[in-house]
A and B are shown apart, each in its own frame.
Chain A
């Protein structure tokens, strides 16, 4: 099959994921999804793995330093040079993480943004630094979710925070997904959405509490926490991940 036809067949073979938070189970298992992804071109398989790695918690968890994550994100953006929408997607995702990391740092008592270049990514670093004391870092007029996230963090509502951030990420994926129907970008966005839906479907309050306790212990044990902290959006129950590094 030629490439356009191959991607038409691949995209139509993937079941609809529906709306976020509405499903108890994912409509396609990890095994089946991997099987379908074997229809991808070899080059695209590599790019998809990179994309999933940088956007999923499991992929970035192996890095100790924020700078390494930033460097890796830049590398992935560079590798995706033929796919500008995926580049924007990675950038937007990293910016969302930066905003969440900033909210956390401020909640933890940090009085200024400090050297934001060492832990932040993207367009909003300057705004975050200049508006550190503002609940939404001066971005609330077009990103109202930041104020909401600030409130959730202040009240310790982790589930609310999780839902909010996943909703934001899902909206970003919807936005870029609307631009593609039968191409590699469409497949990549589908997989990223699947990662979120699958993780939410396995979400269990008790497991999450245990996992959070483990993470906190691990973080205290290490003596430092990551600045770009995707844990709120991406903490999986275990390490059996899809696509070698994706959160499951």
Chain B
């Protein structure tokens, strides 16, 4: 049983990075595809399209930060379950927000191409999703402090 909990602990430790990386890759691919398409139909402003399409890359960075905060001198039965719970749930948050952020960024790029003046405001939904990722990051850090080492 103890070995199983230890295995879960290691799973939880790496989950924020792995799931965050998947979320970022997926989100950046969605946003990047929209940016590439938009560049075909634009005379300029390429940088801003590419710039916003990279926004979902923050999820993997948050995942790395969470992993370091969860890292313990040893993973055992006492902390394995906590590492698993915090790591997996925060990882799924990063995965989901990364993908959804990519989708709203693609919509924002598409909409702002037709109406350039809404470019800034069209990024608001993506910023809100970023906020949810930050919530998950901050509270994972808070809880990481109370894990028995």
Residues of A bordering B, CB below 8 Å = 1, 4-6, 8-16, 28, 36, 181-182
Q: Which residues of B contact A13 (CB under 8 A)?
A: 36-38, 40-41
Minimal Cβ-Cβ distance residue in A for B109: A12
Q: Which residues of B contact A5 (CB under 8 A)?
A: 29-30, 33
Interface majority SS (helix, strand, loop, mixed), chain B: helix
A14-B41, A15-B41 in contact; A9/B107 too (CB < 8 A)? no
**3 A-B pairs with least C-beta separation:** A12-B37, A16-B114, A9-B37
A9-B36 in contact (CB<8A): yes
A16-B113 in contact (CB<8A): yes
Minimal Cβ-Cβ distance residue in A for B31: A8
**Can you list 22 A-B contacts with CB-CB less than 8 angstroms, sorted by A residue number?**
A1-B33, A4-B30, A5-B29, A8-B34, A8-B106, A9-B33, A9-B36, A9-B37, A9-B40, A11-B37, A12-B33, A12-B36, A12-B38, A12-B40, A12-B41, A12-B106, A12-B109, A13-B38, A13-B40, A15-B113, A36-B40, A182-B110
A5-B29, A8-B30 in contact; A181/B110 too (CB < 8 A)? yes
Q: Which residues of A contact B29 (CB under 8 A)?
A: 5
Minimal Cβ-Cβ distance residue in A for B36: A9
Q: Which residues of A contact B38 (CB under 8 A)?
A: 12-13
Most buried by A among B30, B38, B106, B107: B106
Q: Which residues of A contact B114 (CB under 8 A)?
A: 15-16
Interface positions of B from 29 to 66, Cβ below 8 Å from A: 29-30, 33-38, 40-41
How far apart are the CA atoms of A182 and B31 in the complex, in Å? 12
- Using a Cβ–Cβ cut-off of 8 Å, how many residues does chain B contribute to the interface with A? 17
| Min CB–CB distance B16 → chain A (angstroms) | 25
Residues of B bordering A, CB below 8 Å = 29-30, 33-38, 40-41, 106-107, 109-110, 113-115
A1-B33, A9-B33 in contact; A182/B106 too (CB < 8 A)? yes
A6-B33 in contact (CB<8A): yes
| Min CB–CB distance B73 → chain A (angstroms) | 43
How far apart are the CA atoms of A8 and B53 in the complex, in Å? 12
How far apart are the CA atoms of A175 and B35 in the complex, in Å? 26
B41-A8 in contact (CB<8A): no
Q: Which of B34, B113, B115 contacts A9 (CB 8 A)?
A: B34
| Min CB–CB distance B107 → chain A (angstroms) | 6
How far apart are the CA atoms of A10 and B41 in the complex, in Å? 10
Q: Which residues of A contact B115 (CB under 8 A)?
A: 16
Q: Which residues of A contact B33 (CB under 8 A)?
A: 1, 5-6, 8-9, 12
How far apart are the CA atoms of A28 and B41 in the complex, in Å? 9
A10-B37 in contact (CB<8A): yes
| Min CB–CB distance B64 → chain A (angstroms) | 25
A8-B37 in contact (CB<8A): yes
| Min CB–CB distance B9 → chain A (angstroms) | 35
How far apart are the CA atoms of A187 and B139 in the complex, in Å? 42
How far apart are the CA atoms of A66 and B40 in the complex, in Å? 42
Minimal Cβ-Cβ distance residue in A for B37: A12
Q: Which residues of A contact B40 (CB under 8 A)?
A: 9, 12-13, 36
